[in-house]
Amino acid sequence: MPAWVTGEGGKPFRPYVALWVAVRADTVHMGQVLRPEERNLTAAVHALLAFAFESEFGGYRPGCVEVADGALAEHLNGLLGETGIRVRRVEQLDAPARVLREMGDFESVGKPYVPSALEGKNVSLADVRGFAEAAAVFYRAAPWRHLTDVDLIRVESPQTPVEMRFAVVLGAAHTVYGLAFYRSIAQYAEFRRQGVASGSAGLWQFSLNRLHEIPLSDADLWEEQALPVAAEDAYPLAIWFRPPRELKRPDARQLRFLEAVLR
């Protein structure tokens, strides 16, 4: 599900749910919400049966069920083989994906849209992996032990994107860990005075976070692609922001520059 569950004292987790969609009727049935270690094929079967017997939105036996998971398809074939219900495995399930997107849209009502790491112009998975590796190197080096946000760094090499010519290390105050970037000394001075990213330029920031603090799309990417991460509180996020609600992610050139600086 496109949400995090954060219990007191426990590690945040993404809940799972068995989700069935009647394509022609455009109705949905969800089973019980489960922890990751509780997900199983039986939960999917129970949800399917409950949908079939549910009087308001279900109430009928399907002629065909489609699933994307091979193990689930085999399991259902064994159970439904004598019922006349066909079980078909498909590569992609558009209807459940749409429902999950709508659930995500509902969760994000009132919040600015945060693009994923792969939505940056010309950004490839290899670019993100290189960035992830560099972020782990940066975390282990822990430069905030030696520098604070009053130590302004001018980056001369490699060739610098104009909006990232200057940087400071974040983390000495033990709140946000990472780097903040500025296009000029004047912009840095203005930020020091006002404490906000005012003006038309906006600011780039690289930060290290817990998994549930980065966008869901990034969290999924890190887990599905097994991208490197140095610690539970070291998932990297690079983002440009301009109040009140403008956000964007680095393009390929900016991401490679960040990788070089972090290394």
Per-residue pLDDT band for 108 (boundaries 50, 70, 90) equals low
pLDDT tens readout for residues 70-105? 999 999 999 998 899 999 999 988 888 888 778 766
**CA angle 69-33-100, nearest 5°?**
60
**CA angle 159-160-166, nearest 5°?**
140
Could you tell me the pTM of the whole model?
Answer: 0.75
Residue 259 has pLDDT above 80, yes or no: yes
pLDDT tens readout for residues 224-236? 999 999 999 999 9
Average pLDDT over residues 206-233: 93
Report d(CA 23, CA 94) in Å as an integer. Answer: 10
pLDDT tens readout for residues 14-70? 889 999 999 888 888 888 889 889 989 999 999 999 998 887 777 888 999 999 999
Average pLDDT over residues 200-209: 90
Q: What is the pLDDT of residue 255?
A: 96
